[in-house]
A and B are shown apart, each in its own frame.
Chain A
Amino acid sequence: MSRQTHQPSAVHPARQEALQHPRKGIVAALAGALILGLTGTAFGASGIAVTDKEVTVGQLHSSTGTMAISETGAIEAEQLAISQINAMGGVLGRKIKVIQEDGASDWPTFAEKMKKLLESDHVAAIFGCWTSASRKAVLPVLERDNGLLYYPTFYEGLEQSKNVVYTGQEATQQVFAGLDWVAKTKHAKTFYLIGSDYIWPRTTMKLARKYIETVLHGTVVGEEYAALGSTEFGSTINKIRLKKPDVIYAAVVGGSNVSWFKQLKAAGITGKSQTLLTLSVTEDEAKGIGGENLLGFYSAMKYFQSLNTPRNKEFVSQFKAKWGPTAPIGDVTQAAYEGPWLWKAAVEKAGSFETDKVVKAEESGTITFDAPEGMVYLEPNHHLKTRLRIGEWRADGQADIVYTSDYIDPNPFPKGY
């Protein structure tokens, strides 16, 4: 059932009763007014998401709390895309109006705000979430209320909801091609895997280990997970020294990421002497880590800001014009930028804002977008067919792209892994 078709019946329950029992209605209305006055928030639930002139969408990221560090870029990119779409006349002739909510880096808050966006604001689509935890928290709400979420982060896969479009890469897209490249160009045989201790690095490393052992015929000499928020890597680095791997394959996130690279450099492990391929450093993280600490290391991403195409240069200059010259643009930021555009394409193909019709259009396999990273193709499994790129970090916090793969089909449920 779509939210739009049941609009007429979505009258406030209290209001429905008010029609039947006038006196009870007065009590309810008084109480409602009391609570309204208390919070200054409107509780009227029957707003229509689409008028003749306007369509309302939601934006749900953390602008406070520990995740604000990462999610700011996504917020900015989505707003840029929406303002550009509006400048072009909007979607199906309607201007996009954004309701921005703060998930505050807290998963129950994400679920609460998702519910609010869907059930009170009746938004047509939501651009949001960053961590897997926040996505998992909102997913049941999203599926129950039949909403649409555009999720920008590269993630672990193992999921395919009809209500979500994953504009970041799933694990197989990010892992295999990168390992192929490092094995070929660096003649790597031994690998040391290290990640933060949660689902994304664990799944990624599981895939990587299997691929290294069965396809590349290499060895994994160590696999290790650091507690989330850990700032101490001295002992871990010593272990790595003892094992002398050809490649350090890393997926450390958050504040730990900065400690990890600063301490690597301090221990004399630099891009000159050691090959390191990371899955968790974009230009956003590089700003916090400091380019000099990353010099010569590699990242596997689908997008780098330095990508030398006219389309990307145009995007970068638009982004900087809106958000300031120092704002970095990372992989997730670019993936977030794709969200509103892909939604626009799907809505226009469906000719409607109704979730079921839009989902059908999404699954048709014909939705494409000329993104800054190049053409992307929305596959019927709700993931994007994209390329993988390897960037070598420079001291200024930008990366030189040293390798670009062919298009890789998304495969969120890899067989045999």
Chain B
Amino acid sequence: MDAYSLSDLWSILVMQGFSGLSLFSVLLLMALGLAIIFGQMGVINMAHGEFMTIGAYTIYSFSKLTETYFPTLMPYYFIVAILGAFLIAFVVGYLVEYTLIRHLYKRPLDTLLATWGLSLIMQQLFRSAFGAREVSATLPDWLMGSWKPTPDIDIPLNGIFVMVMSILVTGAVVLFLFRSNWGLKVRATTQNRVMAGAVGINTKKIDRVTFAIGCGIAGVAGACFTTIASTGPTSGSLYIVDTFLVVVFGGSASLFGTVASAFSIAQAQSVLTFFLTNAMGKVVTLMTIITILMMRPEGLFRSKVRR
């Protein structure tokens, strides 16, 4: 490399560190919903990407509605829309659990096929409802552009936003699972369904709400990603591979594993991309994941419950 001034290198280091963290929060946010559903219920939701797309289209619809009817509220609609994304994805998830998933708990492999079918149907519905082309929500100004702590350093505002959201959501999930009465029941159901039922926990209801919450989180993730990525009928498929990798690499049934896995994949990819090229960085990261998976097929943190 040519000679760069020290201050140049310093600012790149800061920004590079930030982009690693920002990728970490993106991956974490993607994977959380899936990790909850998979970790707590052992269900693979192949339509996870489409639930993210629900979130993205919710943002788009809110943006269009606000622009048309309440243009003065444009700076604030995003917050409401994220809540809306959670609620809509939650409700859809709840209905899906009720009509589909609950009949298949004894056959986890079949759930996988059924949710795959569901994802095909959802993609087509998006296409019929919003058109085959990509759309773009008008984002409020405070989400766009960058924050300049020094003249040389630009920290992306949307990166900060995604990071804050992923901290909030992770925190909420931890609180929910480990500090709330609901969480206690969820964990009890995971560990021993029959006993949980015997002590009076309505396990069916627990399942339904857990699944719906996982879907709701996917909706939030999709909503946040409108700030950094595209919105189209098949956008979900862009995320789904990364999402699965994070969950598999982290090991099932371990929230901490998901966090650790998102962190290590993000850092590896971000650093490698900087020193190699974008495509090569991804390739080397993936090769490493495959190698580690061959040596530790259970992922970084194995589940404590042996089947």
Tell whether any CB of A sits under 8 Å from a CB of B in the complex. Answer: yes
**What residues make up the interface of A, taking CB atoms closer than 8 Å to B?**
63-66, 68-69, 71-73, 194, 197, 224-227, 229-239, 241-242, 255, 257-259, 262-263, 265-269, 284-285, 287-290, 292-293, 328
Are A288's CB and B134's CB within 8 A? yes
A282 to B8, CA, bound (A): 35
Residue from the list A225, A233, A268, A287 in contact with B134, Cβ < 8 A: A287
Q: Which residues of B contact A236 (CB under 8 A)?
A: 273, 278
Nearest residue, chain B, Cβ from A290: B136
A165 to B53, CA, bound (A): 38
A66 to B35, CA, bound (A): 26
Are B229's CB and A258's CB within 8 A? yes
**What's the nearest-Cβ distance from chain B to residue A237, in Å?**
8
Q: Which residues of A contact B159 (CB under 8 A)?
A: 234, 266
Nearest residue, chain B, Cβ from A73: B133
Are A233's CB and B278's CB within 8 A? yes
A288/B279 contact (C-beta < 8 A), A64-B124, A231-B239, A242-B12 known: no
Nearest residue, chain B, Cβ from A234: B19
A239 to B277, CA, bound (A): 10
B121 CB-CB contact with A under 8 Å: no
B227 CB-CB contact with A under 8 Å: yes
A-B CB contact pairs (8 Å), 15 listed: A68-B127, A72-B132, A225-B277, A225-B279, A235-B273, A236-B278, A238-B16, A241-B154, A255-B238, A266-B145, A267-B156, A268-B145, A287-B133, A288-B134, A292-B144
Residue from the list B231, B232, B282 in contact with A227, Cβ < 8 A: B282
Residue from the list A72, A238, A292 in contact with B15, Cβ < 8 A: A238
Q: Which residues of A contact B230 (CB under 8 A)?
A: 231, 255, 257-259, 288-289
Are B158's CB and A266's CB within 8 A? yes
B69 CB-CB contact with A under 8 Å: no
Residue from the list A64, A239, A259, A328 in contact with B228, Cβ < 8 A: A259
Residue from the list B15, B157, B270, B273 in contact with A241, Cβ < 8 A: B15
Are B229's CB and A225's CB within 8 A? no
A72 to B128, CA, bound (A): 13
Are A234's CB and B23's CB within 8 A? yes
B195-240 interface with A by 8 A CB criterion? 225, 227-235, 237-239
Residue from the list B26, B137, B144, B237 in contact with A66, Cβ < 8 A: B237
Residue from the list B26, B148, B283 in contact with A232, Cβ < 8 A: B26
The size of the chain B interface, using a CB distance under 8 A, is 56
Residue from the list A73, A224, A232 in contact with B277, Cβ < 8 A: A224
A258 to B168, CA, bound (A): 26
Q: Which residues of B contact A262 (CB under 8 A)?
A: 158, 227-229
A255 to B159, CA, bound (A): 18
Are B132's CB and A232's CB within 8 A? no
**What's the nearest-Cβ distance from chain B to residue A273, in Å?**
10
Are B136's CB and A287's CB within 8 A? yes
Q: Which residues of B contact A226 (CB under 8 A)?
A: 278-279
Nearest residue, chain B, Cβ from A221: B2
Q: Which residues of B contact A269 (CB under 8 A)?
A: 154
Q: Which residues of A contact B283 (CB under 8 A)?
A: 227
A289 to B12, CA, bound (A): 26
A238/B274 contact (C-beta < 8 A), A231-B239, A255-B238, A263-B156 known: yes
Are A235's CB and B278's CB within 8 A? yes
A288/B136 contact (C-beta < 8 A), A229-B238, A258-B230 known: yes
A234 to B156, CA, bound (A): 9
